Amino acid sequence: MKLREIREVDMTYILGIETSCDETSAAIVEDGRHVKSNIIYSQIPIHREFGGVVPEIASRNHIIKIREIVSKAIAEAGITKRDLDAVAVTMGPGLVGSLLVGVNYAKALSYSLGIPLIGVNHLDGHISSNYIAFEDLEPPFIALIVSGGHTHFYNVKDYGDYEAIGRTRDDALGEAFDKVARVLNLKYPGGPEIEKLAKNGNNSIKFPTVLLEKDSLDFSFSGIKSNVINFSRNNEFKKEDLACSFQECVFEIVRQKILRASLQTGMNKIVVAGGVASNSRLREVLDTLDLDIKYPPLSLCTDNGAMIAASAYHKFLKKEYEDLSLNAVANFCL
Ligand code: KG4
Ligand code: ZN
């Protein structure tokens, strides 16, 4: 792909596009750290009546919205398309039909403007949301992603240099929240609903704290989820207490795993990211640890284009560009 000449400018503006699940988002980020705009169109109200994301409906709504969202992001940043230095897009992991909408839009835009196209791993994006929140944050650190689709530990050695050190063996943490919420007849997505209910509940029901093998940094949440479901079928209880007890159980596991990760790696700088990181009780529990733990602001915890642009910045500096053969990869690993 023929690129236009590199502009002699002090600042770089990267457009980040995110369509991996049910948020259509576009953002402009300056120099990888400063958000100029971050437009998020959430499809949650559309999917709510089905109790979860319907992939086909998600792709169709991305198609309907993407042009408008990108235009808004550019306008709100106070720039024009000609000021963009690169177009970055989530290429995976995610729903393939949803990813393809963003990938194809990004390809067309970068081609028409003659600017680099950068493919971003969604999980790298979540971690990078902390580069926006903490201007001085630099690797190395430990990253824990807790989202609807993923629960992963990484040893982040450098920008783009990740060693996977743990992961869920079954359900992701956000997924467990969503499934427990369904049992309690709460609306989708369940995480924020459980958090609200739990505030008025007691930790009075004991669920097992599953820590797996002594040294393991893996997680397993499906047993706890089944315990909660069985308990709810066979007992009288207050919804608030069940929500609180479930939340306390899984956050105690996260607390202990973070402690383990820190002890095993000798690192005390921890970055938490992903939708579940917006839970205020999780932050309270983790703040009891004598570690330097960082979380992005709530607006950057769930899916957004700014984290994609921030992640792309380091690839931009290294000229790690894609060509028009870029494809969506539903199970893209970090
Ligand atoms: O990162 P995200 O927006 O999308 C994925 O990449 O998966 O995360 C969405 C997940 C959902 O499972 C949602 O229930 C959960 O994050 N979540 C929460 C909270 N807010 C969102 N879980 C617990 N507490 C919350 N406050
Ligand atoms: Zn996500």
List average pLDDT for each run of 10 residues in the chain, which is 334 residues long. 74 97 97 97 93 94 98 98 97 97 98 97 96 96 96 96 96 96 93 97 95 96 94 95 98 98 96 96 97 95 96 96 96 89
Predicted local distance difference test score (pLDDT) of residue 6: 67
Name the residue with the closest Cα to ligand 1, atom 22: 191
253 CB burial (10 A radius; 0-12, 13-18, 19+)? buried
- Ligand 1 pocket, 22 CB below 6 A? no
| Element of type H or E holding 286 | helix 280-286
Q: Which atom of ligand 1 is nearest to the CA of 279?
A: 26
Ligand 1 binding pocket includes 52 (Cβ within 6 Å): no
pLDDT digits (tens, 9 = 90+) for 267-304: 999 999 999 999 999 999 999 999 999 999 999 999 99
Specify the pLDDT at position 1: 77
Whole-angstrom distance, CA of residue 189 vs CA of residue 181: 8
> How many angstroms does the Cα of residue 298 sit away from the middle of ligand 2?
13
- In this structure, are strands 292-294 and 269-273 parallel, antiparallel, or unpaired? parallel
pLDDT score, position 8? 66
Instruction: Give the pairing type, strands 34-42 and 151-158.
Output: unpaired
Report the sign of the C-alpha dihedral through residues 292, 199, 123, 258, in that order.
positive
| Cα 44 from Cα 164, distance rounded (Å) | 30
To test ligand 1's pocket by mutation, which of 120, 147, 295 has the most ligand atoms within 8 angstroms of CB? Answer: 147
Residue given tokens 């921890």 in the structure block: 270
C-beta 271 within 6 A of ligand 1: no
Give the whole-angstrom CA distance, residue 141 versus residue 27. Answer: 26
Any ligand 1 atom below 6 A from CB of 274: yes
Q: Is the pTM of this model over 0.75?
A: yes
Q: How far apart are CA 131 and CA 215, in angstroms?
A: 30
Which structure tokens are listed for 235?
């007992």
Sign, CA dihedral 96-100-106-110, equals positive
Question: How many CB atoms neighbour CB 279 within 10 A?
Answer: 25
pLDDT of residue 5: 74
Amino acid at 65: K
| Rounded distance from Cα 81 to ligand 2 centre (Å) | 26
Instruction: Give me the numbers of helices (H) and strands (E) for the chain, helices first please.
Output: 11, 10
Please tell me the distance from the alpha carbon of residue 275 to that of residue 146, in angstroms, as a whole number.
Answer: 7
Q: Which atom of ligand 1 approaches the CA of 278 most closely?
A: 26
